[in-house]
């Protein structure tokens, strides 16, 4: 359902100046009568393509679903890209799908007003203790480091899936940590410099095991949506 709506939205929003080709591309998704109403009037021979598209939600209707597709559009001149949210009505019957009517341009989701992440709390001494461990860990974790070196920093029995090489250098900017029974929950903010020289701000939640004063990584997670430190 969602894939069908994304495919249609991609073809619908793509304009290349060739109306016959555009009709051919849209025909698999709708009836001939509807396809005849999906034409786009030319505008000074401008072209437009879809750089990416993804489903942003779906709502059930009496006949099927309305799937909202978020699409990134690119058109000349360079740098004029924009986002469009397109509501696509899809009918489902007997395992077959079709576009039921003309799509609608709808507002994108509103931004939720949240306070900034709290990086001031936690146990300061524990954060200082965790910082060198996390600095070394993320330098290896994001930098395609030797798995044997990475395992030295992890607790026994911990299995971590290391991402592909992303950063050539990593610098921690903030570490907050709190002690829980037998463990330490930490939140790390860092700057990762990739191979092209771009510097990316990233955040992670980390669970550490306290082995008689030695902190070892026992889990790495995307930063939670909570504004409080810890996982």
- For the stretch 36-82, pLDDT in tens is 888 876 656 578 889 999 999 999 988 899 999 999 999 877 767 89
pLDDT over 90 at 206, yes or no: yes
- 149 found inside a domain: yes
Residue 167: predicted pLDDT: 94
- 227 found inside a domain: no
Residue 112: predicted pLDDT: 82
Looking at 106, 132, 165, the residue that finishes a domain is 106
Domain of residue 154, CATH code? 3.10.450.540
Q: What is the mean pLDDT of residues 216-220?
A: 94
Same domain for 59 and 28: yes
- For the stretch 130-189, pLDDT in tens is 999 999 999 999 999 888 889 999 999 898 888 999 999 999 999 999 988 879 999 999
Q: How far apart are CA 53 and CA 42, in angstroms?
A: 23
Same domain for 149 and 69: no
Q: What is the mean pLDDT of residues 192-221?
A: 92
- 191 found inside a domain: yes
pTM for the complete prediction?
Answer: 0.66
Q: What is the mean pLDDT of residues 117-127?
A: 73
Looking at 45, 79, 106, the residue that finishes a domain is 106
Q: How far apart are CA 59 and CA 44, in angstroms?
A: 37
- 187 found inside a domain: yes
Which residue range forms the structural domain that includes residue 42?
2-106
Distances in whole angstroms, Cα of residue 195 to Cα of each of 134, 144, 175: 21, 12, 25
* Whether the Cβ atoms of residue 155 and residue 217 lie closer than 8 Å to each other: yes
Q: Which two tokens stand for residue 227?
A: 């504004």
- 114 found inside a domain: no
Same domain for 129 and 92: no
Same domain for 209 and 135: yes
Same domain for 130 and 210: yes
pLDDT over 50 at 229, yes or no: no
Partners of 84 in the beta sheet?
71
pLDDT over 80 at 121, yes or no: no
Residue 118: predicted pLDDT: 64
Looking at 106, 133, 166, the residue that finishes a domain is 106
Residue 45: predicted pLDDT: 54
Same domain for 139 and 180: yes
- For the stretch 17-30, pLDDT in tens is 777 888 899 999 99
pLDDT over 50 at 227, yes or no: no
Is the sign of the CA dihedral 227, 228, 230, 231 positive or negative? negative
Same domain for 7 and 88: yes
Same domain for 133 and 102: no
With DSSP H G I counted as helix, E B as strand and the rest as coil, what are the percentages for the chain, rounded to 5? 25, 40, 40
pLDDT over 80 at 226, yes or no: no
Residue 175: predicted pLDDT: 92
pLDDT over 50 at 231, yes or no: no
- 118 found inside a domain: no
> Based on the structure, what is the number of domains in the chain?
2
Same domain for 129 and 102: no
């Amino acid at each position: 359902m969602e894939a069908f709506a994304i495919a249609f939205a991609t073809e619908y929003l793509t304009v290349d100046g060739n109306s016959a080709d555009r009709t051919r591309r849209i025909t698999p998704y709708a009836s001939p009568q509807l396809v005849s109403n999906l034409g786009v009037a030319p505008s000074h021979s401008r072209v437009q393509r879809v750089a990416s598209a993804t489903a942003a939600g779906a709502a059930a209707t009496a006949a099927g679903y309305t799937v909202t597709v978020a699409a990134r559009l690119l058109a000349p001149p360079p740098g004029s890209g924009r986002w469009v949210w397109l509501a696509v009505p899809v009918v489902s019957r007997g395992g077959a799908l079709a576009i039921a009517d003309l799509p609608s341009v709808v507002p994108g989701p509103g931004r939720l007003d949240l306070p900034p992440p709290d990086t001031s709390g936690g146990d300061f001494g524990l954060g200082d203790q965790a910082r060198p461990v996390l600095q070394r860990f993320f330098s290896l974790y994001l930098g395609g480091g030797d798995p044997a070196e990475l395992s030295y920093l992890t607790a026994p029995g911990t299995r971590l899936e290391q991402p592909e090489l992303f950063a050539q250098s990593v610098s921690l900017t903030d570490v907050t940590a709190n002690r829980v029974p037998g463990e330490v929950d930490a939140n790390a903010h860092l700057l990762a410099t990739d191979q092209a020289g771009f510097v990316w701000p990233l955040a992670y939640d980390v669970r550490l095991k306290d082995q008689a004063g030695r902190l070892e990584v026992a889990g790495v997670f995307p930063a939670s949506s909570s504004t409080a430190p810890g996982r």
